Every structure is written in structure tokens, then in C-alpha cells.
Amino acid sequence: MFGRRIGIKVAMLIDRETVQEMLKQGAQLVEVLPAKEYAEDHLPGAVSHPLKLLDQEAGQIGRNRPVIVYCWDSA
Amino acid sequence: MRLETLGFDKVHEYRAGKLDWLAAGLPTEGENNNCPRAGDASRKDPIVCGLKDPVGDVRDRAKAAGWDLAVVVDDDRIVLGMLWSKQLGMDPDLTAEEVMQPGPSTFRPYVPIKEMADHLVEHDHDSVPITTSDGKLVGVLYKSEAVRLAASATACVRKMIT
């Protein structure tokens, strides 16, 4: 799997191909952009948990499956 | 990323994000799927030519096919330049390379048609090449078609032309 661990308690960075592979294996996709942007376009199967609400909504995300978070781009 | 601090231990970040996904032409879900995008609305059969093609030959092919432009591409269909009607009317013995407008502005297929139409009107472009993020030709979008389709489209929150 492509990626690099950049420290303890830090998400592993992955590329598009790895996202696709992980989704086949049952990973969860979480978009952290504002809900309006999620409504316009989101990756297939993604759920919306805007960054500002992530603390409150984290309980809705399964802990037993890998989680992939994304926003607009790397900027 | 905050999830790790909340006790999640299998967190991955797709840092290139939604823009990278769209640029790859992969499917998405959401409201934007209900309105056409630049790629959908573009004409996929423009006249293409190579750098060494004589302008006269290209002009004849374009005229026969009803086109007022041609796209100069390499062997991988990477856009190198444009021959607009002005360039097509130049000395027929010159090559495409000698007369083309090099490095034209290109747009990605995922841009919503409303944003494309607004941009084309604002910048007074009659047509623009649509390419993948690595420059491969997808088609040519005409302002008239973009404006027609945009009439029933809504503006999007996220601007995709940067």
C-alpha cells in the first residue's frame, strides 16, 4: 500500500489508487468539506462530516473499519 | 486530522482530495450530476493535426467537416496549440507549428457548465479546448452550447476554474 506514516496519531497519506483499493475492501469515506459542497459533488459512497462538526459527529463513524478522510485538494 | 485524537486508529487521508478524483474523470455523486459539465457538452470530434501538417491541408479537412478551428496535438493527443479561423486562413504551405497559437487556455471536463458559460462570456471566448489534467484532448466546447445548457443550470458553491 502506498503511503507514509508521518508520526504517531497522524493519518497515513494515501493516493487515489489506494483509495480505490481500500474502498473495495470496505473502507469508509468521509468528506470534511461544508455540507453544501458535499451536496454538489462527493466521491461515491462518501458520507458528510464537515470539519467544524467532526467532534460532534465522530460517533457516527464506525471504529472497526478503516476511515479515509478527504477535502478539496492538498492546498 | 482530528479523528486520531478522538481515538480512531485506522485513519487515512486522501490529501489530493476531490479535485484529484474529478480530474481523473472518476464518477461522483451529488447535485452536479444533474447538470452537464464541460466534458459532456464539448464536441468530441474536432479536427486535429500534427505540428508538421500544412495549414492548407488542415483547412481543407476542417472546412469539409464543418469546423472553423483545428487542434494541434502530439501522438498522445496532448494539446500543443490551436488553429483558429485566422490561422487556418494563412499561407497554406506553412506548417501548423509555424502559425498555431501555442499553449492555449484549456479547461477540465468536470467544470460545471454554468461556470464554463460565465467564463466564456466574461472572457469573450467563442470556443475552448477541454483537456484532462495532463493535457490530453477531450473535445472543444463552444460558448453558444455552454450558454444554451447553462440557462437551466444553477451556480455551484465551489468554483472549479482556478
pLDDT in tens, B28-54: 999 888 788 999 999 999 999 999 999
Residue of B nearest to A53 (CA): B2
Amino acid at A50: P
Contact yes or no for B2 and A55 at CB 8 A: yes
Question: Hey, are the CB atoms on A71 and B8 less than 8 Å from each other?
Answer: no
Interchain CB contact of A28 with B (< 8 Å)? no
**Any CB–CB contact under 8 A between B84 and chain A?**
no
Res. A7 pLDDT band, cuts 50 70 90: very low
Question: Looking at beta carbons, which residues of chain B come within 8 Å of A69?
Answer: 1, 3, 11-14
Please indicate if any CB of chain A lies within 8 Å of the CB of B23.
no
- Check whether B146 has a pLDDT greater than 50: yes
What SS3 state is found at B10? coil
Residue with cell 472518476: B26
CB B12 within 8 A of CB A26: no
Residue B4, chain A, CB below 8 Å: the answer is yes
> What are B80-108's pLDDT values in tens digits?
999 999 999 999 999 999 999 999 999 99
Q: Evaluate whether B28 touches B22 at the Cβ level (below 8 Å).
A: yes
Residue B79's SS3 state is strand
Quick one: pLDDT at residue A5?
Answer: 47
| Interface contact A38-B30, CB threshold 8 A | yes
Task: Kindly state the average pLDDT of the residues A65-71.
Answer: 95
- CA torsion sign for B116, B122, B127, B128 is negative
**Cβ pair B108, B136 in contact under 8 A:** no
Average pLDDT, stretch A17-46?
Answer: 96
User: Model pTM?
Assistant: 0.78
| DSSP-derived 3-state class of residue A59 | helix
pLDDT for residue B136 is more than 60: yes
On whether any CB of chain A is under 8 Å from the CB of B2, the answer is: yes
Q: Which ipTM was obtained for this model? A: 0.86
Judge contact between B155 and A34, C-beta under 8 A.
Answer: no
